[in-house]
């Protein structure tokens, strides 16, 4: 019997491909070439399974081009790039990679928070430019992290891991979620609405999923409500922050600085952000430690292997929706 066909859209660790070859006829992108949506549709057209990443759009057009498609596995926890409703309507399970990247991403949120509050990259650039003539009392004064108020928008897996790290800095913790976080007492975190969080936090970390509801959730009006001298970290997804409005708030206030790992329209970065000095910019590397990325890649593969074996999926996104569809 012939093996089911699997398209892996991006170059991935060889051990992951080897594990999948045992069960699938695997088509890879060894050069890690950029594929247009049309090229992806062509390459996926006869496939039974798709292994994608956070930057691959799986939309109605791609689904329509793949009549044999039976499963979509993404090597990311976020799945806003996938039209999950359209997959569900076609009976296609979608899987993601929660938990295995939580701690690495929380570490990175803290790296950005510290670098932002204490002006690490801004002062390094100045030093490299040969501008360090002598020490001065008021050189690169930043904001205290210890003892400050940390506001977390999205107290889920990663938000909670960010919050746990704050105890070492004696911070006051508050958060915004649509529903109370079950671990708020354990974390010592107070749930407040977004406006209150923005107006009363010294440092704000965004770590919630992108969706049409969270598009530009932090725009000019929200930025204007932030405390003068506050900092903002976006480790979540581009599009949640209005990057043009953020660049203005960094230039004109009230923000002191921002740290961004994700951008609207990435890998293109709004030129206005490149012009302001008080922003730390990283190229979507929140989960980028070797162990974390390997664990993510393997979890996506384990979902595909479980599917081929007719076993329960490890981390389904639309399991409930598929069951409800089956029952109706
Ligand atoms: P999670 O456990 O599902 O947590 C998400 C949290 O956001 C939940 O507590 C949820 O609570 C809250 N939330 C959702 N919609 C909200 C809204 N409209 N307003 C306020 N809160 C809202 O997810 P996670 O594993 O922590 O990951 C969070 C996100 O981080 C991912 O979706 C991904 O996009 C991003 N991420 C980025 C990187 C990177 O490399 N930069 C790496 C990993 C993850 P309620 O449902 O109660 O609102």
Residues near ligand 1 (Cβ within 6 A) = 77-78, 98, 101, 105, 153-159, 176-179, 207-210, 213-214, 235-237, 261-262, 284, 286-287
Distances (CA, A) of 99 to 8, 130, 299: 22, 43, 10
Burial class (CB in 10 A: 0-12, 13-18, 19+), 288: middle
Q: What is the mean pLDDT of the segment spanning 3-12? A: 98
Whether 284 is catalytic is: yes
Of the candidates 10, 157, 216, 284, the residue annotated as catalytic is: 284
Provide CB contacts within 8 A for 222, sequence distance 6+. 194, 195, 198
Closest Cα partner for 260 from 79, 109, 125?
109
Q: What is the mean pLDDT of the segment spanning 13-29? A: 98
Ligand 1 atom with least separation from CA of 208:
7
Rounded distance between C-alpha atoms, residue 37 and residue 326, angstroms = 31
Does 328 score more than 80 pLDDT?
Answer: no
The sheet with strand 71-74 has its strands ordered as 25-27, 5-8, 49-52, 71-74, 94-95
Of the candidates 184, 264, 266, 293, the residue annotated as catalytic is: 266
209 in helix, strand or coil? coil
Mutate to test the pocket of ligand 1, among 193, 207, 210 (most ligand atoms within 8 A of CB): 207
Q: Which residues of 96-129 are buried (b: 16+ CB within 10 A; e: fewer)?
A: bbbebbbbbbbbbbbbbbbbbbbbbbbbeeeeee
Ligand 1 atom with least separation from CA of 161:
26
Rounded distance between C-alpha atoms, residue 109 and residue 96, angstroms = 21
Closest Cα partner for 265 from 12, 55, 32?
55
252 in helix, strand or coil? helix
Mutate to test the pocket of ligand 1, among 55, 152, 154 (most ligand atoms within 8 A of CB): 154
Ligand 1: centre distance to CA 156 (Å): 6
159 in helix, strand or coil? helix
What local confidence, expressed as pLDDT, does residue 151 receive? 99
Whether 237 is catalytic is: yes
Ligand 1: centre distance to CA 154 (Å): 5
What local confidence, expressed as pLDDT, does residue 327 receive? 80
Rounded distance between C-alpha atoms, residue 3 and residue 24, angstroms = 5
Q: What is the mean pLDDT of the segment spanning 161-188? A: 98
Model confidence pLDDT, tens digit, residues 65-113 = 999 999 999 999 999 999 999 999 999 999 999 999 999 999 999 999 9
| Angle value at C-alpha 199, between 284 and 183, nearest 5 degrees | 65
Mutate to test the pocket of ligand 1, among 54, 77, 212 (most ligand atoms within 8 A of CB): 77
Whether 125 is catalytic is: no
Of the candidates 118, 237, 293, 302, the residue annotated as catalytic is: 237
Q: What is the DSSP letter of 326?
A: H
155 in helix, strand or coil? coil
Ligand 1: centre distance to CA 236 (Å): 7
Ligand 1 atom with least separation from CA of 158:
26
Rounded distance between C-alpha atoms, residue 179 and residue 160, angstroms = 14
Rounded distance between C-alpha atoms, residue 163 and residue 257, angstroms = 20
What local confidence, expressed as pLDDT, does residue 265 receive? 95
Nearest CA, atom 20, ligand 1: 177
Mutate to test the pocket of ligand 1, among 99, 193, 209 (most ligand atoms within 8 A of CB): 209
What local confidence, expressed as pLDDT, does residue 326 receive? 86
Closest Cα partner for 159 from 178, 145, 143, 137?
178
Q: What is the DSSP letter of 180?
A: -
Model confidence pLDDT, tens digit, residues 106-141 = 999 999 999 999 999 999 999 999 999 999 999 999
Rounded distance between C-alpha atoms, residue 233 and residue 316, angstroms = 29
Provide φ and ψ at 56, rounded to 5°. -95, 115
3-class SS string, 56-73: CCECHHHHHHCCCCCEEE
Ligand 1: centre distance to CA 235 (Å): 10
Model confidence pLDDT, tens digit, residues 137-159 = 999 999 999 999 999 999 999 99
Ligand 1: centre distance to CA 260 (Å): 16
């Amino acid at each position: 019997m012939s093996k089911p066909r699997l398209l892996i859209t991006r170059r991935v660790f060889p051990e992951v491909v080897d594990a999948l070859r045992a069960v699938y006829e695997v088509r890879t992108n060894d050069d890690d070439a950029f594929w247009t949506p049309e090229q992806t549709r062509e390459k996926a057209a006869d496939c039974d399974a798709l292994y994608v990443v956070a930057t691959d759009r799986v939309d109605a057009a791609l689904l329509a081009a793949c009549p044999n498609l039976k499963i979509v596995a993404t090597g990311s926890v976020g799945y806003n790039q996938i039209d999950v409703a359209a997959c569900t309507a076609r009976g296609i399970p979608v899987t993601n990679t929660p938990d295995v990247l939580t701690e690495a991403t929380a570490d990175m949120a803290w790296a950005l928070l510290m670098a932002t509050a204490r002006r690490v990259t801004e002062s390094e650039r100045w030093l490299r430019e040969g501008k360090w003539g002598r020490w001065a009392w008021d050189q690169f004064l930043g904001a205290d992290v210890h003892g400050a108020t940390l506001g977390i928008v999205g107290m889920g897996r990663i938000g909670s891991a960010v919050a746990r790290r704050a105890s070492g800095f004696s911070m006051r913790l508050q958060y915004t979620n649509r529903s109370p976080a079950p671990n708020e007492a354990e974390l010592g975190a107070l749930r407040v609405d977004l406006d209150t969080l923005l107006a009363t936090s010294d440092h704000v970390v965004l770590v919630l999923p992108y969706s049409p509801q969270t598009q530009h959730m932090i725009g000019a009006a929200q930025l204007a409500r932030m405390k003068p001298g506050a900092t903002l970290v976006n480790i979540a997804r581009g599009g949640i922050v209005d990057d043009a409005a953020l660049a203005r708030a960094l230039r004109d206030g009230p923000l002191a600085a921002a740290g961004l790992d994700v951008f609207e329209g990435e890998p293109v970065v709004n030129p206005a952000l490149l012009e302001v000095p008080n922003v730390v910019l990283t190229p979507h590397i929140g989960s980028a430690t070797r162990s974390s990325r390997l664990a993510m890649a393997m979890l996506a593969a384990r979902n595909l292997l479980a599917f081929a074996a007719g076993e329960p999926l490890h981390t389904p996104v639309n399991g409930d929706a598929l069951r409800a569809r089956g029952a109706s």
